[in-house]
């Protein structure tokens, strides 16, 4: 029997364990992907740390997957053996609920999520619904492409929801923000980057990617912002961002999980400021962003980890020990 290796979450709040498993076979409509790289996302931390309820257990985390098609199930159209492919967070939708039928499949009532409710990419192989996988070009490094599949896609959805303003604040300058800053700068916007207190290295990194200003999350930017996007999972930043945006400005919360938002006076929201959240992504977001990223010349800074060191990658992400994104290489 053919076998695969994977880092498996057997219980929340416990380290992942290396396990050998039978190589899965794709069912109708599915593809088997031999994983070349899988990004390490903050959502993976929320799953492993038990902050997202009811994961599939045991679970192979990871939802920023780049690999090649190793087997094709019945009725699959558009993919062939050996083709390079990307697999994102949104793993499947029902297709029939009101959200799916109105072009809002990111809000589907019965979704499946890669690396959460179906096995993901912290392994040598994974199975994906072919309808929710994307062909990828051959000219980019697999590890540098993997973070585009979530950090890039969610960043792009947040960016579009933030509106057309010129000044944009990014709270939490990690994987998503460092990708988005490059796109926004390419489009002529002024980026203000907010990092953890004392993170001077991160602030230098933000300025190297085009930010006109970088400072700690508690600082006030030198000019009012048209919009702000919060990637850090810290509810108190909502108050800071609302205070930083001008009248009519938008604050977009880009994470799947955030600590509680403290009570705040209505005056922070008054004057038609808007507080929005982003949930998941649509396939249309993916097709759009994967066209834009190469046009903008996006370059992803990655720190690579062998598959067996996935726990170290998660720990380093939790502690903010690297700039850009972490990627696991099977």
Q: Record the tokens describing residue 171, joined without a space.
A: 């709270």
Specify the CATH class of 3-147+281-329 in words: alpha beta
Per-residue pLDDT tens over the stretch 77-116:
999 999 999 999 999 999 999 999 999 999 999 999 999 9
Q: What is the pLDDT of residue 303?
A: 98
Per-residue pLDDT tens over the stretch 194-220:
999 989 999 999 999 999 999 999 999
* pTM as predicted: 0.95
Could you tell me where in the chain the CATH 3.90.180.10 domains are found? 3-147+281-329
Q: Record the tokens describing residue 162, joined without a space.
A: 């933030």
CA dihedral 62, 109, 104, 101 (to 10 degrees): 130
Architecture of the structural domain at 152-277: 3-Layer(aba) Sandwich (3.40)
Question: Per-residue pLDDT averaged across 11-15, rounded?
Answer: 97
Percent of the chain with pLDDT over 70: 100
Nearest to 44 by CA among 144, 139, 94, 113: 113
CB environment 47-74: b (16+ within 10 A), e (fewer): bbeebbeebbeebbbbbbbbbbbbbbbe
**pLDDT band (50, 70, 90) for residue 284:** very high
Could you tell me where in the chain the CATH 3.40.50.720 domains are found? 152-277
**pLDDT band (50, 70, 90) for residue 41:** very high
**pLDDT band (50, 70, 90) for residue 319:** very high
């Amino acid at each position: 029997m053919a076998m695969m290796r994977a880092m498996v979450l057997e219980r929340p709040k416990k380290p992942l364990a290396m396990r050998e498993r039978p190589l899965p076979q794709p069912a109708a409509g599915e593809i088997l992907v031999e994983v070349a790289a899988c990004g390490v996302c903050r959502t993976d931390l929320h799953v492993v740390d038990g902050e997202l309820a009811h994961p599939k257990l045991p679970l192979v985390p990871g939802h920023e997957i780049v690999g090649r098609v190793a087997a094709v199930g019945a009725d699959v159209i558009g993919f062939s053996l050996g083709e390079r492919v990307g697999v994102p967070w949104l793993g499947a939708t029902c297709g029939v609920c009101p959200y799916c039928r109105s072009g809002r499949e990111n809000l589907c009532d019965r979704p499946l999520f890669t690396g959460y409710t179906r096995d993901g990419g912290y392994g040598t192989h994974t199975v994906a619904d072919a309808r929710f996988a994307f062909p990828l070009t051959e000219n980019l490094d697999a590890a540098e492409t993997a973070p585009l599949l979530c950090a890039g896609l969610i960043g792009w959805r947040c960016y579009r929801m933030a509106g057309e303003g010129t000044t944009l604040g990014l709270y939490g300058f990690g994987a998503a923000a460092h990708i988005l800053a490059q796109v926004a700068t390419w489009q002529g916007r002024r980026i203000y980057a907010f990092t953890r207190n004392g993170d001077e290295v991160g602030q230098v990194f933000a300025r190297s990617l085009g930010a006109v200003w970088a400072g700690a999350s508690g600082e006030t930017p030198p000019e009012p912002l048209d919009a702000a996007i919060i990637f850090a999972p810290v509810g108190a930043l909502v108050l800071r961002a609302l205070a930083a945006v001008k009248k009519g400005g938008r604050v977009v919360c880009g994470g799947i999980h955030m600590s509680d938002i403290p009570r705040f006076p209505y005056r922070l929201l008054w004057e038609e400021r808007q507080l929005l959240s982003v949930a998941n992504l649509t396939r249309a977001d993916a097709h759009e962003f994967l066209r834009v990223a190469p046009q903008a010349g996006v370059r992803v800074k990655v720190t690579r980890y062998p598959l067996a060191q996935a726990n170290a990658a998660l720990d380093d992400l939790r502690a903010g020990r690297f700039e850009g994104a972490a990627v696991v290489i099977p």
